[in-house]
Amino acid sequence: MTYGKEDLPDLLFVDECYITVQKHFNPQNDRCYGKSLKEIPRGRKFRQFPKTPLSAMVFAAVSRDGRSDIVVLPSGFKLNQETYRKKCLEPLLKKLPYKMVAKRAILVQDNAPFHKAASVQKFLENYFPRFLRSQAWPPNSPDLNVLDYFGWDALQERIDKYGMIPNFNKLKEILKKEWKLIPQDGFRASVDSWLTRVRRVEKAHGENI
């Protein structure tokens, strides 16, 4: 498959990623104990102890002139062709604007079996009038997905500025808010640089760049 500048407005990039909060605390303060509670200074009777990192799986689609709403799911479930279709693709496509549905869809450029599974390919082919099957995707490289080389990093940077986030529901609220606030100019510039990246991957014989 050969791509040119005239194809850029037509391309739709779809991907998922884990977003992790570096600072997460238990809202129920853990107690510090001693022989007598009176012996413990007031400022040390209760402390907020960090927990394991809070994370969520996010899923979205972007194009040069727009983006979908972000789908936010709790981390920890196993992705396979069924969960990928039901938990990621279906919720995303239900809210996808028609002008994006009419585009040619480039799915994630990697070897994950659930991306290339026959049932997933068929589902997308039925949904998108001009869906490009996996045989037409660019070579295996995260450097070729706009979400990988711009979108997810931009979102993670915005989340990091919040510092402490108490729970998944709050994280989900923040992710949806901040996703909409990422300037579209960033996505537009990233799509415009896509062909240059494709050529660099070709020179690297399909390896990461």
183-203 confidence digits (pLDDT tens): 999 999 999 999 898 888 788
Task: Give the residue-averaged pLDDT of 102-107.
Answer: 67
C-alpha to C-alpha distance for 19 and 7, rounded to whole angstroms? 30
Query: What range defines the domain where residue 70 resides?
Result: 5-203
Half-sphere exposure of 80 (CA within 13 A, CB side): 2
Per-residue pLDDT, 29: 46
Given a cut of 50, whether residue 30 has pLDDT beyond it is no
Number of compact structural domains in the chain:
1
Q: What is the pTM of this model?
A: 0.81
Which residues, including other chains, have CB under 8 Å from residue 116's CB and lie 6 or more apart? 134
For 128, phi then psi, to 5°, come to: -100, 125
In what helix (H) or strand (E) does residue 46 lie, and over which residues does it extend?
strand 46-47
Q: Determine, yes or no, domain membership for 162.
A: yes
Angle of helix 194-203 versus helix 184-192 axis, rounded to 10: 40
Residue 110: DSSP 8-state: S
CATH number for the domain harbouring residue 170: 3.30.420.10
Q: Residue 37 pLDDT > 70, yes or no?
A: no
